[in-house]
Copies of this chain bind each other. A is one copy, B any other.
């Protein structure tokens, strides 16, 4: 036992089923049936049990239940960080259906740190979670498989296959396509992409961009960057030194777009009159009136809900083959895109 000295006082005596049974004048087993909502209990006795429990302030001990039933009704959720609204919203989706179905969540943030992620998976194991939802995990396939052997998993943001592993993903390549198509339809030919380096979804977005450009006979130009505001601003500096100047920029996420927007305006360029700008993720940021960024929306809440529902389905039907759900992103047009300048 690490850390504190653990002079923790044990819980004050909680009443047990035994106590409830005694008070209601029935057997312990009957109380158990009532709390598991068995139909085979007479209304009269059920009422007696319920009110006895209420009087005593009884609350079932989930540890005991888990031990006896070999089921915990909790699912482990692993994600990068809650500070990123993207993950926070996915989590909210998960939580919504979990609470509806009376499941508990054991939450861990791995912080893009492999060791912490492995710790989290160990915690899932030790808690004997009924299943797990891993949002863009960094851990090795082997570590994942170890958990998957013992509890079904839903993984997002990775292409991992395996028995007991279902997947929920969004189609990032399609999202990039949507962005390019929107700009091309407005008449842009010179569309530069600022990418996200080796951030989680950077690659498929870049690939989608490149393919969409080539399909239209346009020349892809990729400026390497990373998923931050500063990187977006720096990337614009590099873009402005090139020629021909692009008439539109497709940024790999909204944060990059925000940084780019700043720098473009600092340079006296008007958006969208002089240059158009598209982001990705439709974060809170993009929706700000002040920013009003055209961007690609990912159904975050829905990703979470779907992940949880998928897990429940597998719990119901452990032997069906693995499924992959792909959610489609959509274009949100705001005020940072318009036709290219004349001439």
Name A residues whose Cβ lies closer than 8 Å to a Cβ of B.
1-12, 14, 36-37, 57, 59-64, 66-67, 69-72, 81-83, 85, 88-89, 91-92, 95, 99-102, 104-109, 116, 119, 122-123, 125-128, 130, 146, 149-151, 229, 233, 258-259, 261-262, 265, 284-285, 288-291, 312-313, 315-318
Contact = CB atoms under 8 A, between A and B. Distances in A.
B285 A128 contact: no
A125 B11 CA distance: 11
Given A83-B88, A289-B262, A128 B11 contact: yes
Contact of A64 (B7, B67, B100, B284): B67
Best-surrounded residue of A104, A233, A318 (most CB of chain B within 10 A) = A104
A307 B281 CA distance: 33
B116 A99 contact: yes
Contact of A289 (B81, B82, B229): B229
15 contacts: A1-B37, A3-B102, A3-B312, A4-B315, A7-B316, A8-B71, A8-B130, A10-B70, A10-B71, A63-B127, A104-B127, A107-B107, A229-B288, A259-B289, A262-B288
Nearest to A95: B109
B130 A63 contact: no
Given A8-B130, A61-B126, A150-B11, A101 B288 contact: no
Q: How many copies does the complex hold?
A: 2
Best-surrounded residue of A4, A89, A91, A106 (most CB of chain B within 10 A) = A4
A106 B104 contact: yes
A316 B63 contact: no
Contacts of A127: 62-63, 104
Contacts of A102: 1-3
A16 to B, nearest CB: 11
A198 to B, nearest CB: 23
Contacts of A149: 12
Contacts of A8: 71, 130, 315-316, 318
Contacts of A100: 3
A233 B317 CA distance: 52
A290 B289 CA distance: 12
A69 to B, nearest CB: 8
Contacts of A116: 99
A28 to B, nearest CB: 16
Nearest to A130: B8
Contacts of A2: 101-102
B36 A1 contact: yes
Given A63-B63, A82-B88, A85-B85, 10 more contacts: A2-B101, A4-B313, A11-B71, A11-B128, A11-B150, A12-B149, A62-B128, A105-B108, A229-B288, A262-B289
A335 to B, nearest CB: 12
Nearest to A10: B70
Contacts of A37: 1
A101 B3 contact: yes
Given A4-B316, A82-B82, A101-B3, A261 B290 contact: yes
B105 A106 contact: yes
Contact of A12 (B5, B150, B288): B150
A100 B108 CA distance: 12
